[in-house]
Structure 1
């Protein structure tokens, strides 16, 4: 992992070192459900699951993802590494699946990890969290990852890393559009720019057109004209102060129970109760 991009390591540290505290703070009767929204490769959650399995705690793990491929791979990997894990994978829309889960007799811990909430602006984040809340039972809990506001230079360096990984990640979007929409973006004709506003906590990432150009997207019968230096906005990644996290919990009808922080206080997995 690149050292500048601290987020993955910080959360891995929290879930490796503090699984015991997280589970004890739940105060759940067993069995219970752990429902992970956007499970992906499941690496984030592995240490938490491993702790529960090692302690013979009775629970079901319900990973949800929109990608069947991701879920199949995750299920296979977890069955190899944690053969006694009770895994009930689901593919599809979060809210359809949460609606069904709400009927469960068991308490549930929802996981929304990584910096996922940071990809939403404040209004959309609040709306999403209210939807989570609507699909939870009283006493259910949500463990949610937040990238914390910190020295702006640290954040700047995470996006302008020396290996250019963030730049490649953004330019890769053009290759994906080429592949999926039969487009003819030339990535050498675009550059990467990002800006952090330490007051609002917003990191906005852009691709910059390095010349006046026209791109064709054959699959949807469209052409797009770009001016010299025109921007494509690719991503929002919002950082929060602990105070803002507390306010967001309250605004979306949750009670904040605990913030679990890494040793540098770069990131928190925040535990909320409905």
Structure 2
């Protein structure tokens, strides 16, 4: 892929993508919404990141789900006789399948409702999971999290066990995470459960290395969003004129990624928008918030939940926390 790309698909000025990019790059502190990382190339690069030696979160949570699903199932069974398992952003269910299999083995009375914005993901899960988990009752829900939670409530009166895995809570700032959890709690009934993954605070260098891998894949992942803007919105970003810069503040737990303009330059988007960059000006790309165990408990209580149990990987670098509404 060339550093400066030409428009290859029609640009639409009426798309949400276009509006969000213009809004972000016109802000006093330039930013891009991290949800747009995931085009086909972004998906592939993220899969490569998860296989990197330095990127530990995926392996840590897989350690928990593959080795402690029986314990998780036992705790769920103590709180709910029958329930619906609702997974927010189910993806390929690589980790949650271990819990689903264990629930089947323990003869739990449950239905699995994976929620995903991608209809392709839902179709895939509905076809593959009943083969991998014989006897599984599954109904996929294609749409936004909160809308689909409301739909799930209409479909079934059972208690809900909501899965929010992969340290996705870390994609929010602490204030945003609190608001998200409060909104989630408002969509649940007393007695419902939430299992959510937290990447825990640890040695700062371990965390920083995870977002600055030696192979440069995370750098390529961030720069790919500029390539996507070039391709889909008719922009002329020269990606060779931007550097990837991650930073971690151990006092706050905020691990942030930026792109840095190497020079004073102008970028054109579509036919009539010009975005100016100063030398060393930053584009804020994403956050991956890290938590102490005390902070996870505080978040639970502040958003209307009570902590019930915690499940750790072998290094205690990651925790899947079970909360009760």
Query: What is residue 121 of structure 1 aligned with on the other side?
Result: 173
Query: What is residue 307 of structure 2 aligned with on the other side?
Result: 256
Query: What is residue 186 of structure 2 aligned with on the other side?
Result: 134
Query: What is residue 22 of structure 1 aligned with on the other side?
Result: 72
Contact 1:102 1:137 (C-alpha < 8 Å) held by counterparts: no
How far apart in 1 are the matches of 2:75 and 2:215? Answer: 39
Q: CA deviation at 1:52?
A: 1.9
How far apart in 2 are the matches of 1:72 and 1:176? Answer: 26
Query: What is residue 192 of structure 1 aligned with on the other side?
Result: 244
Q: CA deviation at 1:44?
A: 2.4
Given the two structures, how large is their TM-score scaled by the length of structure 2? 0.80
Find out whether 1:95 has 2:146 as its counterpart: yes
Contact 2:161 2:194 (C-alpha < 8 Å) held by counterparts: yes
Q: CA deviation at 1:107?
A: 1.2
Q: CA deviation at 1:28?
A: 4.1
Query: What is residue 132 of structure 2 aligned with on the other side?
Result: 81
1:6-62: CA deviation from partner (whole Å, max 9, x where unpaired): 000000010111101111112244431100011122212121112223334321110
Out of 247, 256, 261, which is 2:298 matched to? 247
- The 3 A distance-change label for structure 1 pair 77 and 165 is farther
Q: CA deviation at 1:235?
A: 0.4
Larger relative contact order (Cα-Cα within 8 Å, sequence gap ≥ 6)? 2
1:112-151: CA deviation from partner (whole Å, max 9, x where unpaired): 1112111111111111101111111111100011010000
SS of 2:169's equivalent in the other structure is: helix
Query: What is residue 170 of structure 1 aligned with on the other side?
Result: 222
State the superposition RMSD in angstroms.
1.6
How far apart in 2 are the matches of 1:266 and 1:3? Answer: 15
Aligned length: 273
Given the two structures, how large is their TM-score scaled by the length of structure 1? 0.94
Find out whether 1:268 has 2:319 as its counterpart: yes
How far apart in 1 are the matches of 2:302 and 2:109? Answer: 33
Contact 2:242 2:259 (C-alpha < 8 Å) held by counterparts: yes
